[in-house]
Each structure stands twice: as C-alpha cells, then as structure tokens.
Structure 1
Amino acid sequence: MKFSTASIFLAAIGASAHPSGHAHKRAHDSLEARGDFVIANKPVEPSPPAATPTPSPAAVPTPSPSAAAPPAQKAASSAAGVGSGPSTYTPFCHGNSKRATAAEIAYKGNVGADGAYGCNLMPVKSNLLDQYQYTVVFNNAGADSSCKCWNKIGADGQIDGFFNGHEALTFDLPAGGKQVLAVDSNSQFGCACGPGGPELTNIGQFASTWVEGDVGNLSNGGWSGFDASSIVAAANKLTIPGLKVCGTGDYAGTCSTIWPGGRGDNAFVGGTEALDGLGLNIKPGKTSVEVTVNFSG
C-alpha cells in the first residue's frame, strides 16, 4: 500500500508500493474491514533424544589438555546465527490492538497487541531466517550504523510512527554486519539507518533513506510490497545515503535502488510523492527481501 502524504507534518512522507499491481489506492482510502491477526505457524519441534546410560567413572577417559572441541560443539556454535534477537523460534505477540475507525485517515493494519505496541516487528538471529513467513535481511556495506524501525501508525493511533521517539525498535548494524528482521502479517512498516541513527528533519521526522514494507496486507488479498524511498530527505535537502532492496526466490533480480545523493531506479526519489506502484510487488506467500544499507553501487 502507499504511505499517505500528510501536509500537516510540513514534510513529504515516504511512499510504499501498493502490492496489487493495478488499481492502486492511497492509504486513506483503505478502511476496509480487517481480518483476524495472522502469524506464521510455529515449526514442529523435534522430540528430545532418548537418554543414554551414564558410564561409570572408570569408563570415562581423561581428555587431553590440547584436545580440539568436538565437531558437534562447533556446529552448535555456527548454528546460533548472527545479529541480535532470539536464536530459537519465538512467536509474535498475540492479538491486535484496536483497529482503525472511520475517523482515522489510514488503514491501521498490524501494530502489535494491546500493551505491546511494535511487537509485530522482531529482530532475530540469522539461523531463524526460514522459520518466519516474512523477513527482511539487512546487510551493511558501509560504516557502523544504527537502525530505527517503525509502524506507519504510531502508538497513539496517528500516522506518526516515523518520528523520533515513536519508533517500534532500534538495532545496531556494524560495518559488514547482518541483521534479520521478522515481520508479522498485515504490517505496514519502515526502517532507516545511519551512523548513530538516521538523520532527522527539523521537526524530528526520520530522514536518510527508508526501506518500506507492506507485508501480507489483509485488505489486499495478502500481497506484499517493498521499496526504497528518499522522499523525506530530498524534501528537506538532507543527506541521501544509498539503499538497495531486492527480492529473493521468484523475485531475485528485482530491486528498488537509491544511490548516494538521490538517483534511483524503481524507487521513490525526490519529487515522486504523487507516484504509486514502484518497488517490489509480491504475491501472497512466504517472502524475504535483502536490504543493503550504505549501498554505493
């Protein structure tokens, strides 16, 4: 879906590709009834191994001080994954907070549960990539950065999740680092990164370059959309870092790209506030995209 443009904020708000591929509508027109909360199913956990007899003390050999770690221990270490967050499957929060009313100006979607705003977005370690239905993999091609992620709708029910202090989560992304973000169904969100965090406008809105996502949109048949956007930074004449968002699987090779300084391809760059349909439009189903932060070409 497309993120709404709100003139009361005195700045352009980024746009997210409407995933339908046709008959695009603005967010403030999307007030259709919303279905129940949807999460990826928890995978079946293997049964615990059968207990083995404990050998008598005489049967236990004394290890050599120089003995190498058993291969099983090495495999367990590598299987833990990289990045912050849990290393074993952790469900999203249960239930939705109250849906948007006709008085609100945008489709609310999934912003977490009552009392747990933002729990629809969860950093997890990389070994869990395949265990969630919707994931975004962040790779840092530049200097150490800190990333802020938000829901389009803030905790107060307004379209202000992308203002400093209203974000749902923060994670560090060191140079050369990787972080997996698991996203729950029917979420409309964005993230921006930068040294010490994304640059801010003079009214506290996140600038830099955004990756925007609309995953498993229940008002649109479960389609998803992703894009790169520098609309806010361009409108405020701030630094525009490079960012590349690419599909995987059936969508490998399809990207939304912004180069340092603002040139873009299939992306929302300065002056494109009125456009729609750019970025990646992805059919319902398990989805993962790769995001390159500090992209330089």
Structure 2
Amino acid sequence: MQFTKTLMLLAALTSGSLANVDKRSTLIPVASPTSSSPSSASSSSSPSSGGGSSGGSWTATPSSGSYSTEGFGSRTSSGGGGITYAGNTGNPWGSNIIQVSESDAANYKNVAQFKGQNEESWNVVFFNKCGPDGEMTGWYGNSALTFELAAGDTKYVAFDDDSRGGWAASSGSIPTDNNGGYASTWGEFDFTSSSNGGWSGFDVSAIVAQNAGLTVQGMSICDALGSTCSSINPDATSVDNAYTTAETDIGGIGGNLSGGGAVRLAVTIDYKG
C-alpha cells in the first residue's frame, strides 16, 4: 500500500484557491512561543493513564498494551474525503496535540521528539489541517501548541489518533506568506489515519516557503522505530525524501507507516545534514 499524499497537499493548496483568500481577519492569532495551550500545560503535569512502559526510552510502548490519552480533549468526527478530508482536530480545537514529559512520552501512541542543531532559540508552532472554522485553514495563524526550543533542548509532543496537520519552525518569529499562512519549512503528519486504513505518514516540506520566496530552513524527521527519514538542508541545498515545489503533485514521498501501531518520530530542527 502506498500512503497517499497527506499534508504535502496543504502546502500545495497555498498556491491554489486558498491562496486567493486572505484568512487573517477570521483566525485567532498564534500564541506567544513561550506559552503552551491549556491542554499542553495540564498534560505535562498530569500522570499518564497508560501504565508503565516496556523499557525506559521514549521509543518504548506501554507494557499493558493500552495507550494513554491523558491530556487530550475529546475526539472530533471525521468528514470529507481526499484532499478535503478532516481528521480529528480535538475538542476544544487543538487539544489533540499536547506537550508531554520525557518520562510520560512512551505511554502515548503517537509521539515526536524534538531536538535541534540550532545554536540559538527556535520557535515551533503546531497546527491541524483544519482550523477552528472547520475549513482547511489550520496553518493560517492558528496554534494548537507552541514552544521555544533553545540550543540543547529536547521536547516531546503526543498526537491523538486520526490527527492530520503540521508544524512550522524558525529562529525568531515564524514567517508568513502574503495570505498569513506559516511560510517556513514544515513537518507534516497524519497519525493512524481513518481515511488511509490506519496508516500513518510524515514528511518535511519546503513548498510553502518556496512559493512565498522565503528562506528554507533545515529540518529532518526520522522514524525512530525504523529506517525511513525525510530531510531538507538549509536553502534546500540537499533534499532527501521530502517535498519542494518540484514535487508538489507527487504522492507518497516521506514516511509511510503501516499497521496502526505506535509511531515514534525523531525530529531535528535547523538540520544541516
């Protein structure tokens, strides 16, 4: 089974019909990068409900076989199909994406570890494909979670099932295009997708940044339980299994993970190769 293109299609949309609509006046502003969403703040201090993990690493899984949902909001129903498919965006919106502690990370099903090759602080903002308005506007000023990644920091983020979205990262403020969309390099994800038979997928994409004529930041995402990676070096001097504008219409690039089991993504911000 080839995993269909997931969040890459969001980047492609910014050069399509959505690019002609200024969404900024109808969307909430992104939170300060040093703040957390209410759900992420509560989850980081809450005990996990998944039981002890089999091993001490964040890549381990619960020995009970039951994954924690502590800190997530309720799941929203899916709708649409194909490019307009709306996955779980959390209720309240964005509560499907939470920051967790290193000790709790192994108890969740879908987890990403964030490190960096950065020598200064970088800001990372997370968004669902669909915004609070229910349209494909999630990356237009919305924030499910934000944090600052200082040099040497390691942070962990858990994602509820059927979550589809991305994150943008940059030193300083996240750049935006003329329509107010996040226009740095993106990491894109689709976890335990109900529209793709439970498969998960990920990729790095520079499409939005390149379409806006802005800087392409380096980023790498690797499947920590396998061998697949997707990466882009600064200014797209090296691209491996990732999206640039040249691959806008190509599906299946990035990581395609079958089985519906645990996903562990190792993310490197400001990746230089």
When the two structures are superposed, what TM-score results if normalisation uses the length of structure 1? 0.69
Q: Does 1:189 align with 2:165?
A: yes
- Which residues of 2 match residues 211-250 of structure 1 at below 5 A? 211-249=187-225
Pick aligned residue for 1:256 from 209, 221, 230 = 230
Matched, 1:282 2:260: no
Q: Which amino acid aligns with 1:10?
A: A
Q: Is the 8 Å Cα contact of residues 148 and 197 (structure 1) preserved in structure 2?
A: no
Which of 80, 90, 111 is equivalent to 2:89? 111
Residue 2 (structure 1) aligned to one of 2, 6, 9: 6
Is the partner of 1:131 in helix, strand or coil?
Answer: coil
Q: TM-score, normalised by structure 2?
A: 0.75
CA shift for structure 1 position 10: 2.4
Q: Cα offset for 1:270?
A: 2.4
Once the two structures are TM-superposed, the CA of residue 217 in structure 1 deviates from its matched residue by 0.5
How many residues are aligned here? 221
Aligned to 1:97: 76
Q: How does 1:62-101 map to 2 (within 5 A)?
A: 91-100=70-79
Contact kept, 8 Å, 1:147 with 1:197, in 2: the verdict is no
C-alpha distance in structure 2 between counterparts of 1:241 and 1:101, whole Å: 32
Q: Which of the residues 238, 243, 248 maps onto 1:268?
A: 243
In structure 2, C-alpha distance between the alignment counterparts of 1:105 and 1:295, rounded to whole Å: 29
CA distance in 1, matches of 2:218, 2:268: 8
3-state SS in 1 of match to 2:106: helix
Instruction: Report how far residue 96 of structure 1 moved.
Output: 2.8
Which amino acid is 2:257 matched to?
Answer: I
In structure 1, the residue corresponding to 2:136 is in which secondary structure? coil
Q: 1:254 to 1:105 in 2, by over 3 A?
A: closer
Structure 1 residues 228, 133: closer, same or farther in 2, change over 3 A? same
Per the alignment, residue 23 of structure 2 pairs with none
Report the identity percentage.
Answer: 32
- Aligned AA for 1:196? G
Distance 1:101 1:254 in 2: 29
Look at both structures and tell me which one has the larger radius of gyration over its CA atoms.
1
The SS at the match of 1:200 is coil
**Worse-matched range after superposition: 167-176 or 228-237:** 167-176
- Distance in 2, matches of 1:202 and 1:173, equals 26
Measure, in 1, the Cα distance between the counterparts of 2:179 and 2:192. Answer: 31
User: C-alpha displacement at 1:168, in angstroms?
Assistant: 1.4
**Residues of 2 paired with 1:282 and 1:207: CA distance?**
27
Q: Tell me how far apart the structure 1 counterparts of residues 83 and 247 of structure 2 sit (CA, whole Å).
A: 21
Give structure 1 stretches of 5+ with no counterpart: 12-40, 46-78, 82-88
1:42 Cα deviation from its structure 2 partner: 2.9
**Structure 2 unaligned runs (5+)?**
21-47, 59-67
Whole-angstrom CA distance in 2 between matches of 1:227 and 1:90:
25
